[in-house]
Amino acid sequence: MNMAKRSLTRDIETTLFALPAVILVSLMIYLPFLLSGYYSLTEWNGIDKEPVFIGLANFKRLFTGGDSFISSLVFTMKFTVLSMILVNVAAIALAVALVKKLRSANVLRSLFFIPYIISMTIVGFIWKFIFSQGFDNLYELTQLGFFDLSWLGDPNLAFYSVVFVGSWQSVGFYMVLYIAGLQSIPGEIMEAALVEGAGAWTKFFRITLPLLGSSITTCVLLSLINSLKVFDIILALTKGGPGGATYSVTLDIYREAFQNNNYGFGSAKSLMFFVLVLLLTQIVLRGFSRKEVEL
């Protein structure tokens, strides 16, 4: 009887402790999500008392052309693919280099990680200054044509500039995750490979990389999600320009809802983007999880 009372008391205490968090998460995430689903079926400017129900008209408008959603989606996909590859390759390379016993390893790890703790908006403004005034000054000193290019004014170069800045800011975070993965690999496996005469490249591609499967899955999934929802770095660097060359889906949703005051159409875009992100993350997660090697 006493055990039953203790179990009941413990369940009540657990519920009471969890209840504030559940209420807060519901109010901040789940309720707005449900409301956006309703608003996606309406036409509403955020001022009128009652939204006008229009059914699936907003979703039909998304795919009938004449809107920036498709072009922004193409840019976002290109940005995501290139950013994922660049970030993960650079992070693995840095992790392999800094996991070794170097005197300056901790200092270098901190230097690479510092950009990640800086706001993306601040990083965008810093690099905007570098691309404009900083590169102009370097060109006057060196006369190298590289510094005389219009990195934010040319549509093609602006795309690569945004990818570079976003990757530069986040690579330190993924580097730390890969370092943790490398440190979890048993040393006996590497010693056995060394005894068998395996070279550095063989050990990396045949042993280290497969055993990093769980870390790679985590980093690829996180970089996929972060790249898909890129917003602040573009807003600070290019504002979607030049000529819409760096116009992302999140920026398009923001402008549609909060600048054009078209909350119904903006909610429809956000809901479609949510479904796309959900599908992509599930595909990537299942694809990489199957290739993981357990220690």
Q: What is the pLDDT of residues 35-64, one digit of tens each?
A: 999 999 999 888 888 889 998 899 888 888
Please check whether residue 239 lies inside any domain of the structure: yes
Please check whether residue 1 lies inside any domain of the structure: no
How do residues 261-293 score in pLDDT, each as one tens digit?
Answer: 999 999 999 999 999 999 999 998 888 877 765
Greatest distance between any 2 Cα atoms in the chain: 86
- Contact status, residue 216 vs residue 290, Cβ threshold 8 Å: no
Please check whether residue 141 lies inside any domain of the structure: yes
Q: Which domain holds residue 270?
A: 68-289
How do residues 175-187 score in pLDDT, each as one tens digit?
Answer: 999 999 998 888 7
pLDDT, position 12: 87
Please check whether residue 38 lies inside any domain of the structure: no
- The CATH number covering residue 179 comes to 1.10.3720.10
Please check whether residue 42 lies inside any domain of the structure: no
- Domain count within the chain: 1
d(CA 270, CA 238): 22
pLDDT, position 65: 66
Please check whether residue 40 lies inside any domain of the structure: no
Please check whether residue 8 lies inside any domain of the structure: no
Q: Which residue has the tokens 């056995």?
A: 192
Please check whether residue 63 lies inside any domain of the structure: no
Q: Is the pLDDT of residue 146 over 60?
A: yes
- Kindly report the pTM of this predicted structure: 0.89
CA–chain centroid gap for 39, Å, is 26
